[in-house]
Structure 1
Amino acid sequence: MSTVDIVDTEVLIAGAGPTGLVLAIDLARRGIPHRIVDRSARGFPGSRGAGIQPRTLEVLDDLGVVDALLAGSGPVPPVQTWRGTERGERWNLTESAGDSPAIPYPEPRMLPQWRTVEILVARLEELGGHVGFRTELTGFSQDPDGVTATLRHADGTAETVRAKWLVAADGGRSTVRKALGVPFTGEQLEPYPALIADVLLDGPDRAEIDPDHWHMWQKAEGGLVALRPLEQVETVQLIAGFEADRELDIARDAAPGALTALLTERTGLRLKVNEVTWASAYRPRMAMAERFRSGRVLLAGDAAHVHSPAGGQGLNTSLQDAYNLGWKLGAVLRLGAPEALLDSYDAERSRVAADVLSLSSRVHRADRTDPDGRWRRGPETHQLTLGYRESALSRELRRDVPDDVLRAGDRAPDAPCLDAAGLPVRLFDVFRGPHFTLLAVTDGELAGELAGEFAPWVRTFRPVDAEGHVKRAYGTGLFLIRPDGYVGLATDDPSDVSAYLRDVTGQG
């Protein structure tokens, strides 16, 4: 096996799933050199991780891909229950986040994960980035100044890369996490194995599996089976549960003939699986890493936490890990912020991950225990109420502010308003990009020093709030919005803004 010379970069990302790609996009738009590698030939090939929550749509809006995702995706279809060959009741699996100017994307969307990966790869390439597919991280070491990693390419050559930071986005079986020796503890949620596969269906009853519903035989003998035609392709996602003592073998149990026999037995419909394009077996479990940072190495996505697929939380939480981490790496590498800022990534995201893991497990158990199997996914699954009120980066300095109104650490809402020229604008348009935004919902003057000292990376915006949407969403005061769309500081005193920014950047 031959080798090539050491190549320097600032951030090395192991894993080009949605987590790694979102981080790469965020770094690319900040002009931060990085490498992103993945041992697969083209990214994740299956439909797992299809649910996109309202908060994640807001993240994708900021990153410039929400239009492509909305165009390629569809709404969460209502469930069509079946009893053998007879249709039963229909019911909605999810609820809307509501009709409010503060929430521009109230409906969860469905899109196969492989298509989400394609959209993110295309966006990264638009920004000048590139994914090193068929390239595997095989080892690394770290020291106080960086990480030295070895990459193995498909042709057998090895490459040594020197990076300031390594981000492990390499999945639930993360080789980086294992090499670090970081404990990954959790529990198996149930003993029953499940199989998920993307298939091409045929047969006399194929038309019964219409694309407007998620077809479920929840009480079929032998175990649940569900069929969901995927968005804008011919493929159908098949999910099947099995008895506890069954050891699934993909080559055997996901073969077209085996799946055809399963559908015949459990549904009674005349369906034939012509082709299986992807399949995976799993037992639902939850687990989380003991820490998300170990020196110069950071864990993100499934490398840091794995969820039950119930509730559609895993991919969304993972993607938002990267969104939280991107601006902090940018602040350390470009703005002179202390490396200790990255400890806030661990503190903030581990708390969120623990809360979401608990939610995913509750949804999973509710699905099992609900007599009718109709536990709806409500507002708690939209991830709009997740935030960082307890974070060291959240400072609520206004007096006598009730807990039930917007506070520092909360998600910054959207609102339609006018700019200084009287032109209509959304707050999300103002926030979009890798900068802090000082939102002034006040008539008071701002400190002059802010414009000079922090002008390169803080934008100040005083909305013309003719219809009162901004005030209803925020109240009054000065709100410093972090680059990831959360309120870092809420105050009435302009001097607090400069003090906060000096602390974050280490310039104080």
Structure 2
Amino acid sequence: MDTRVLIAGAGPTGLALACDLARRGVEHLVVDRDPGTFAGSRGKGLQPRTLEVFADLGVVDRVLEHGGPYPPMRAWRGREVVWERSMHEVAAPRHGVPYPNPLMLPQWRTCRILRERLAELGGRVEAGVELTGFEQDGSGVTARLGDRRVRAEYLVGADGGRSAVRRGLGVGFVGETDEDHRQLIADVRISGLDRDHWHFWADGDSDRPVLGACPLAGTDSFQVVTTRLEHASVEGFQALLTEASGRDDLVVSDLSWSSSWRPNVRMVDRYRVGRVFLAGDAAHVHAPTGGQGLNTGVQDAYNLGWKLALGAEELLDSYEAERMPVAAEVLGISSALFGRVLAGGEDAMDRSDPALRQLGVNYRGSALSVELRAEPGSVRAGDRAPDGWCGARRVHAVLAGPGFTVLTFGRARYDGAYAVTDAPAFDVRGDAVAVVRPDGHIGLFADDAEEVGAYLDRWSRGIRVTAPR
């Protein structure tokens, strides 16, 4: 074998997976056909659950340093402000949720931060290298990378909506594309326009937006979106902005990236075929409304990494079983939000739905989720483990790292476990013990600590159990 895991695609999904494998000491290779010049904002929203994942991967401080909150929205009709509102209510960190609000960070910056982290962990990306084909057999995958062949135990296609890996597998990509609606997205500079608001201009006959301009946190650029232009150019955006705003003091310059997008709502009917896996946009594409795409892909990677490290068939099968229902739900949410955007109006950009934060994503129906308590509370096996306190340390701090973690509540005891002292978000009634998986989801919740050994024997398969330190 040339490597244990070959990852095709170095976007946020592929890089998050590479970082997770690198910290586990799993040999891997990341290739991407892009020469490393991508500089677009694309997926600019990071949801609270993704921030928790980034905390575990060791990059959340850099993400918070370079990112920022979403600004309030301001809608215009010409020079007149017709409404102002926040996209969502800003919440303070609470006991079980350390990062309660979405964060804005251009995708190019997210990728740069993850690449830097991967380098710190001893990994790297082979840029400008395209996967052109592959074959698999019972012991591995042989991939064609230009003129060379690479042999790996597993191949992960994280290579986007036009995935070569997905096409090579021949799996179904079920859904629809709306050819009647098209958006042009670009990153530009706009002098004279305040950066304290996300601006929208509507046409004179309806509330439907003509042009949107969102200041990108940590940059001096705006992400602009319109349905009125066929091709991106400074001149085109300038003419449209001048017409929509009725102002000649707003100057567009420095178009650094653009992309054309049509509503394309699709997902695969298989996440795994033999030794080949799909993740991120290679497995599911949908409307960008709600900031779900990048986040769902990162969490695909977070679910898959520790399972690839172990390589047990039951674990690898659970990837599809756990992530496919999540993708289906995300597609539904994003499509509903996109319909509201098309209708226009003040409520079109409301993003207060708690489901968008992805903190409620659960795997309760998974074979890995074992709930054995006589009186379970609202948080059950399969759910994300909330934050709280184990003495002087945060629960999420003791969960950090690549291993399983055992938590005890009340008078329950288990050798090597962390005693939870203050964590009301867990909603534990009486004494209990929990085993938290490496991806932060509760695998086992039981009244009796004797259940822990059997669970770990079945699922941990040699991954260390975190011990107090």
Aligned to 1:427: 395
Shift of 1:505: 4.6
Aligned to 1:75: 69
Query: What secondary structure, in the 3-state scheme, does the structure 2 residue paired with 1:264 have?
Result: helix
Question: Could you tell me the TM-score, scaled by structure 1's length?
Answer: 0.86
Residue identity matched to 1:80: R
Query: In 2 relative to 1, CA 416–430 (structure 1 residues): closer, same or farther, beyond 3 Å?
Result: same
Query: What secondary structure, in the 3-state scheme, does the structure 1 residue paired with 2:122 have?
Result: coil
The structure 2 residue matched to 1:286, chosen from 260, 265, 268, is 265
Query: What secondary structure, in the 3-state scheme, does the structure 2 residue paired with 1:199 have?
Result: strand
Cα deviation code 1:306-351 (max 9, x no counterpart): 110111111100110000000111122xxxxx22311100010001
User: In 2, Cα distance between the equivalents of 1:189 and 1:439?
Assistant: 48
Query: For the Cα contact (< 8 Å) 2:272–2:317, is it kept in 1?
Result: yes
User: In 1, Cα distance between the equivalents of 2:197 and 2:88?
Assistant: 13
Query: For the Cα contact (< 8 Å) 1:44–1:117, is it kept in 2?
Result: no
Aligned to 1:381: 356
Query: What secondary structure, in the 3-state scheme, does the structure 1 residue paired with 2:130 have?
Result: strand
Which stretch shows the higher mean deviation, 114-123 or 229-238? 229-238
Residue identity matched to 1:308: A
**2:49 paired with 1:62:** no
The structure 2 residue matched to 1:30, chosen from 5, 24, 28, is 24
Query: For the Cα contact (< 8 Å) 2:201–2:211, is it kept in 1?
Result: yes
Aligned to 1:367: 341
User: In 2, Cα distance between the equivalents of 1:56 and 1:76?
Assistant: 16
Shift of 1:443: 1.2
Query: For the Cα contact (< 8 Å) 1:96–1:108, is it kept in 2?
Result: no
Query: In 2 relative to 1, CA 369–236 (structure 1 residues): closer, same or farther, beyond 3 Å?
Result: closer
Aligned to 2:465: none
Query: For the Cα contact (< 8 Å) 2:200–2:209, is it kept in 1?
Result: no
Query: For the Cα contact (< 8 Å) 2:280–2:297, is it kept in 1?
Result: yes
> Which runs of structure 2 are paired with 1:102-181 in the superposition (5 Å)?
102-152=96-146, 158-181=147-170
Aligned to 1:412: 385
Shift of 1:95: 3.1
Aligned to 1:493: 448
Query: What secondary structure, in the 3-state scheme, does the structure 2 residue paired with 1:462 have?
Result: strand
Query: In 2 relative to 1, CA 223–426 (structure 1 residues): closer, same or farther, beyond 3 Å?
Result: closer
> Which runs of structure 2 are paired with 1:439-478 in the superposition (5 Å)?
439-446=407-414, 460-463=417-420, 465=421, 468-470=422-424, 473-475=427-429, 476-478=431-433
Shift of 1:267: 2.1
User: In 1, Cα distance between the equivalents of 2:344 and 2:82?
Assistant: 17
- Percentage of matched positions with identical amino acids: 49
**2:324 paired with 1:330:** no
Query: In 2 relative to 1, CA 91–198 (structure 1 residues): closer, same or farther, beyond 3 Å?
Result: same
> Which runs of structure 2 are paired with 1:14-29 in the superposition (5 Å)?
14-29=8-23
Cα deviation code 1:383-420 (max 9, x no counterpart): 01111111111010011325xx11001110001341xx
User: In 1, Cα distance between the equivalents of 2:394 and 2:461?
Assistant: 32
Aligned to 1:349: 323
Residue identity matched to 1:54: P
Query: What secondary structure, in the 3-state scheme, does the structure 2 residue paired with 1:354 have?
Result: helix
**2:452 paired with 1:502:** no
User: In 1, Cα distance between the equivalents of 2:38 and 2:370?
Assistant: 40
Query: For the Cα contact (< 8 Å) 1:227–1:238, is it kept in 2?
Result: yes
Query: What secondary structure, in the 3-state scheme, does the structure 2 residue paired with 1:89 have?
Result: strand
Query: For the Cα contact (< 8 Å) 1:16–1:43, is it kept in 2?
Result: no
Query: For the Cα contact (< 8 Å) 2:386–2:425, is it kept in 1?
Result: no
Question: Could you tell me the TM-score, scaled by structure 2's length?
Answer: 0.93
Shift of 1:223: 5.2
**2:176 paired with 1:187:** yes
Query: What secondary structure, in the 3-state scheme, does the structure 1 residue paired with 2:35 have?
Result: coil
Query: What secondary structure, in the 3-state scheme, does the structure 2 residue paired with 1:135 have?
Result: coil
Cα deviation code 1:186-233 (max 9, x no counterpart): 1235721100001123xxxx32x2111101113467952011121222
User: In 2, Cα distance between the equivalents of 1:200 and 1:169?
Assistant: 31
Structure 1 runs not aligned, ≥5 long? 1-6, 153-157, 333-337, 419-423, 452-458
Query: For the Cα contact (< 8 Å) 1:93–1:374, is it kept in 2?
Result: no
Aligned to 1:335: none
Aligned to 2:373: 398
Aligned to 2:243: 265
Aligned to 2:405: 437
Residue identity matched to 1:441: F
Shift of 1:261: 1.4
Give the number of equivalent residue pairs. Answer: 457
